[in-house]
């Protein structure tokens, strides 16, 4: 039994490592491709960073949909859907708490006014679609359309904000600088562009392989030890696919870019629940376990409400407030394991 557990956990860790490095390579490739094509820093920041750190969740959804469609794992639903809720919950409580413990985090209220309502909207949209126990392809399309619409609104609002800033010192406090809108000039040769495209596809390949290893290992762990797949998806896969956000945001904080860190957490969660879920549902319908609707999503809404309130109240997250978020995550895990697995 111990040997089997060690074997499964080893492959699970291999999957997480592949997801991390695959996402990193894909993001590097995308950034360099954007530089070659002369795309502004603004668009790169809003798309590559937000979507890039959500690539593990997107990959898990896509490979989960393929596994279910081809019959490799017809009961993968709990892990895939649980992963989205678990990743969201982990980021908004545990990861945000870890970032807050590292130092007090300042946050702008304009960002909370924009991302906050969209976070709640994305959860309620998911809840409405899943209330019948099934997420269909049509609902997946609507989720993706909702995310694209949100992304366009974000780009439009960011442009208005930067244009409205005349004082350079005020600009430095925002997420983007005036040069964000300058077209990037590059002297790199076309061979370098081919290399960047190759790096992107290599990262994408590693991502998909890592997602498949993660899914199969998580399924075997659930089957071998009789653990509900939604628990594995929320508490194990959810944490594993959140690692890119944690690393990226800790790096941003060390560089005194708290706004980018908070923006990534808020933006990537919207991406996870809408774009990542919708990507998998486009392939095949997914079943949603009732316990996710009646326990996990309400707890997610409570956790999100606490996080937004703490960020809004003083425009910063202090260390004791960060500890409170981590404590709430621990409270949720205890309740989940003791009373609400099925």
Smallest Cα–Cα separation from 285: which of 76, 59, 87, 82? 76
The end-to-end CA distance of the chain, in Å, is 24
Mean pLDDT of 54-58: 86
Q: Residue 332: pLDDT above 90?
A: yes
Compute the distance between CA of residue 242 and CA of residue 93 in angstroms, rounded to an integer. 12
Predicted TM-score (pTM) above 0.85: no
242 with 95: CB under 8 angstroms?
yes
- For residue 39, the model assigns a pLDDT of 59
Assigned CATH for 2-339:
1.20.1420.30
DSSP conformation class of 256? T
- For residue 22, the model assigns a pLDDT of 83
Compute the distance between CA of residue 221 and CA of residue 227 in angstroms, rounded to an integer. 7
Helix (H, G, I), strand (E, B) or coil at 269: helix
Q: Tokens 């070659």 label which residue?
A: 36
Per-residue pLDDT tens over the stretch 158-167: 677 666 654 4
**For all residues of the chain together, what is the average pLDDT?**
82
Neighbouring C-beta atoms of residue 65, cutoff 10 Å: 22
Q: Which residues contact 96 (CB under 8 A, 6 or more apart)?
A: 262, 265, 307, 317, 322, 325
User: Which region, left, alpha or beta, applies to residue 256 given φ > 0 means left and ψ of -120 to 50 means alpha?
Assistant: left
What are the structure tokens assigned to 197, written together? Answer: 């495209």
Mean pLDDT of 77-88: 93
Smallest Cα–Cα separation from 61: which of 289, 287, 280? 280
Q: Residue 87: pLDDT above 60?
A: yes
CA 90 to chain centre: 10
- For residue 257, the model assigns a pLDDT of 62
What are the structure tokens assigned to 213, written together? Answer: 């290893």
**Bridge partners of residue 106, in order along the sequence:** 316
Higher pLDDT, 191 or 149: 149
H/E/C letters for each residue in 104-165? CEECCHHHHHHHHHHHHHHHHHHHHHHCCCEECHHHHHHHHHHHHHHHHHHHHHHHHHHHHC
Per-residue pLDDT tens over the stretch 191-223: 587 888 888 888 888 888 888 888 888 888 888
């Amino acid at each position: 039994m111990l040997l089997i557990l060690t074997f499964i956990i080893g492959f699970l860790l291999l999957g997480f490592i592949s997801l991390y490095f695959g996402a990193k390579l894909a993001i590097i490739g995308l950034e360099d491709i954007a530089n070659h094509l002369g795309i502004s820093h603004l668009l790169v920041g809003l798309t590559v960073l937000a979507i890039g750190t959500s690539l593990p969740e997107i990959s898990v959804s896509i490979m989960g949909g393929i596994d279910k469609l081809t019959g490799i794992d017809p009961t993968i639903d709990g892990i895939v859907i649980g992963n989205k809720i678990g990743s969201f919950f982990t980021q908004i409580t545990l990861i945000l708490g870890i970032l807050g413990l590292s130092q007090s985090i300042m946050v702008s209220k304009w960002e909370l006014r924009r991302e906050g309502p969209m976070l709640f909207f994305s959860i309620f949209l998911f809840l409405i679609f899943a209330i019948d126990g099934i997420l269909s392809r049509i609902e997946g399309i609507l989720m993706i359309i909702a995310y694209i619409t949100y992304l366009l609104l974000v780009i439009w609002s960011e442009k208005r904000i930067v244009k409205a800033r005349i004082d350079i010192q005020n600009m430095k406090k925002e997420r983007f600088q005036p040069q964000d809108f300058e077209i990037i000039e590059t002297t790199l040769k076309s061979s370098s562009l081919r290399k960047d495209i190759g790096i992107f596809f290599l990262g994408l390949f590693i991502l998909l392989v890592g997602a498949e290893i993660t899914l199969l290992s998580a399924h075997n762990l659930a089957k071998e030890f009789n653990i509900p797949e939604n628990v594995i998806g929320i508490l194990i896969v959810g944490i594993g696919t959140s690692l890119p956000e944690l690393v990226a945001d800790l790096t941003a904080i060390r560089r005194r870019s708290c706004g980018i860190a908070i923006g990534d957490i808020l933006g990537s969660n919207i991406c996870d629940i809408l774009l990542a879920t919708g990507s998998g549902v486009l392939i095949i319908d997914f079943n949603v376990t009732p316990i996710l609707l009646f326990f996990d999503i309400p707890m997610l809404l409570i956790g999100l409400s606490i996080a937004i309130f703490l960020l809004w109240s003083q425009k910063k997250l202090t260390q004791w407030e960060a500890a409170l978020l981590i404590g709430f995550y621990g409270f949720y895990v205890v309740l989940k394991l003791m009373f609400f697995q099925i």
